[in-house]
Structure 1
Amino acid sequence: MQRIFSGVQPTGNLHLGNYLGAIRNWVHLQHDYECIFCMVDMHAITLWQDPKDLLHNTREVAAGMIAAGIDAEKQILFNQSMVPAHAQLAWVFNCVARIGWLNRMTQFKDKAGKHKENASVGLYAYPNLMSADILIYKATHVPVGEDQKQHLELARDTAQKFNSDYGVDFFPLPEPLIFGAARRVMSFRDGTKKMSKSDESDYSRINMTDDADTIALKIRKAKTDPLPLPETIEGLTERPEADNLVGIFAALSDLEKAAVLERFAGKPFSEFKQDLTDLAVSVLGPINSEMKRLMADPSHIDAVLHRGAERANAIAEPILKDVYDIVGFLRP
């Protein structure tokens, strides 16, 4: 069976964008692939994290993934720092990847901003660790958003260069998997910006920890325009907030946008938002309840992650040993 690796940073509340853009797709994929899912806490500390918050967020993200339907018994769920091979392979890749490759990474430029000289080395070398995350398990496929495609391309380049440098056919070239009508969920306050946990306004997003009343309030306050819903997808052009809400409805209901517009064409947003609220609560409400139950017993979450790390280590350690032999490291 083909193998998937995917990770999520434990740096704050999971939100609707995480669910529709990633986690829900992971739930579907686990029926057709061997899946390795990871809370990438080592990536998280490339920017400052309060240690207590990082610990809490790691457990909360794990709880969210389990509550959303990830089967942690059949698949592998763990946090990255429990498997040393990620960092060990990343150092080898630091010596394979080229400076010019990293200089082209747009996400570093976005996160470092105008103060890149003060950014951590870890933030700069982040893509090499991401390559190691994927290739330490010889993953064949990686679910990615549009903003991660560049990093996956670097992982492919690194795998290819390693194979070429050492004259081996060792690492596969992982393929991207991109899904869904609402794979890029936008802010409720600005339909041109991606929904983000870092947005100062909590009304810009629906968190997976939000209860029904909070979800209803946020959808009711979501920015729209004065026009009714159009009849066709073309009618959503230059209406980013309308397009975003229609896309969310389509994704939550497993419909195409055209089918949603056929149902709501000509209707005011007040009516559409009520139906969207009912739909969002029906999908997210059970997840919210299960997350609260799981978070009430952190020792259970820790045990799940420890078991997952043991299984991940069992795959990663032999691959790392082979890498060390190929590179020429003397091992015990």
Structure 2
Amino acid sequence: MGQVLSGVQPTGNLHLGNYLGAIKNWVKMQDEHNCLFCIVDLHAITVPQDPKELLNNTRNTAAAYIACGIDPNKSVIFHQSSVPEHSELAWLLSTMTPLGWLNRMTQFKEKAGKHKDLSCLALYSYPVLMAADILLYKATHVPVGEDQKQHLELTRDIAGAFNRQYDKEYFTLPSPIILGEATRVMSLRDGTKKMSKSEESDNSRINLTDDDDTIAKKIKKAKSDMIEGVTYNVEERPEASNLLNIYAAMSGEKRTDIEKRYAGTGFAKFKSDLAEVVVENISPIRNEMQKLQQDKSYLDDILRNGTETARKIATRSIEEIKDIMGLLKL
């Protein structure tokens, strides 16, 4: 049984991409691994956040985890800022992370855009904190999306650098877990871009809080093309391919079987059926989230208990790491 760690930023409504690309897969892992699922609020503040919204979103993300099927009795649910060892280990690891490694990280370039010189240090060093998140708990497996694979590779590089520098095989090199038909769910408005909370148009994503009518309308308006039939071809038909992936991931059917069924039909019928499948899956999650959001004390208890468990592991790891590095403990 391995040790799994993953997390989501509390920066607004979680959406279908978060669910299919991450959380749905986490639920399956609970019976196979020791799992820690973090709400990564320290990562969230690498860009400006409204303090009240961040506070509410942290609890709402905990509610989403539980509503989606993460069981607090099986998995550890906690928020990152409640375990100060994350920040401490990030600093320790930064002492052996060459700038050249960080310069190769494509996600910083994408997020910083043309204003790279005005971006904060935390956004640039974000991958080192991610490495600390993982290595602090000696995670053996990390479920990641395609866009995070590079950061996990950096984590493995940093872990290897530590082991070599101190001539001790302390850190395990974590392996990625990439599962399912829709590990990277794309925007409903542009099949070449990832579904994102930061996208200006709310019609680009299906939020886990959307009501049934809103879900159906968004899918009906989702960008398609003029080619007859619904077939899979990421290069030539990115929107059709994205919708097929979503259908497969939500229904549990093979994408090829769905493709055969709709190869001779138009998008109207396909979208109508897809909306039914999505509503059937998202509606109970939304209803459970709404119920949980009314009980802040319950959510706080879950996070408090999770923090206590996480800190026991993190404190022990930090003490071992500091001993290896020769940092005096009195």
What TM-score do you get using the length of structure 2 for normalisation? 0.98
Aligned to 2:34: 34
**Unpaired stretches in structure 2, ≥5 consecutive residues:** none
Taking the aligned partners of 1:11 and 1:249, their CA distance within structure 2 comes to 26
Query: For the aligned residues, what is the CA RMSD?
Result: 1.1
Are positions 1:323 and 2:321 aligned together?
Answer: yes
- Give the Å deviation of 1:227: 2.9
Instruction: Write the mapping of 1:231-242 to structure 2, written as runs, cut at 5 A.
Output: 233=232, 237-242=235-240
Q: Using a 3 Å threshold, how does the CA distance of structure 1 residues 233 and 115 change in structure 2: closer, same or farther?
A: closer
2:117 aligned with 1:117: yes
Which residue identity does 1:66 align to in structure 2? Answer: I
Aligned position for 1:127: 127
Q: Secondary structure at the match of 1:229?
A: coil
Q: Residue 35 of structure 1 aligns to a residue in which SS?
A: strand
Counterpart-to-counterpart distance in 1, 2:229 and 2:105: 38
Aligned to 1:50: 50
Q: Secondary structure at the match of 1:36?
A: strand
Gaps of 5+ in 1: none
Cα distance in structure 1, aligned partners of 2:158 and 2:258: 42
Cα offset, 1:252, TM superposition: 0.4
Contact 2:86 2:132 in 1 (8 A): yes
Q: How high is the sequence identity, in percent, across the aligned residues?
A: 57
1:161 aligns with 2:154: no
Change (3 A) 1:237 1:160: closer
> Which structure 2 residues correspond to residues 135-174 of structure 1 after superposition, within 5 A?
135-174=135-174
Q: Deviation string for 1:283-305 (max 9, x for gaps)?
A: 00000000000011112111100
SS at match of 1:176: strand
- Would you say how many aligned residue pairs link Structure 1 and Structure 2? 330
Could you tell me which residue of structure 1 aligns to residue 278 of structure 2?
280
User: Do structure 1's residue 4 and structure 2's residue 7 form an aligned pair?
Assistant: no
Shift of 1:237: 4.9
Partners of 1:193 and 1:147 in 2: CA distance: 11
Counterparts of residues 226-265 of structure 1 (less than 5 Å): 226-230=226-230, 233=232, 237-265=235-263
Supply the distance in 1 between the matched residues of 2:186 and 2:27 (Cα, whole angstroms).
Answer: 22
Q: Which residue is equivalent to 1:298?
A: 296
Paired with 2:209 and 2:104, the residues of 1 have a C-alpha distance of: 36
Q: Distance in 1 between matches of 2:326 and 2:172?
A: 20
Give the secondary structure class of the aligned counterpart of 1:4: strand
SS in 2 for 1:60: helix
| In structure 2, C-alpha distance between the alignment counterparts of 1:320 and 1:251, rounded to whole Å | 39
The aligned residue for residue 222 of structure 1 is 222
Query: Are residues 188 and 168 of structure 1, via their aligned partners in 2, closer, same or farther at CA, if it must alter by over 3 Å?
Result: same
1:123 Cα deviation from its structure 2 partner: 0.8
**What is the distance in 1 between the residues matched to 2:225 and 2:96?**
51
- Once residues 125 and 238 of structure 2 are traced to their aligned partners in structure 1, the CA distance between those partners, rounded to angstroms, is 34
SS at match of 1:310: helix
Determine the C-alpha separation between the residues in 1 that align with 2:113 and 2:259: 39
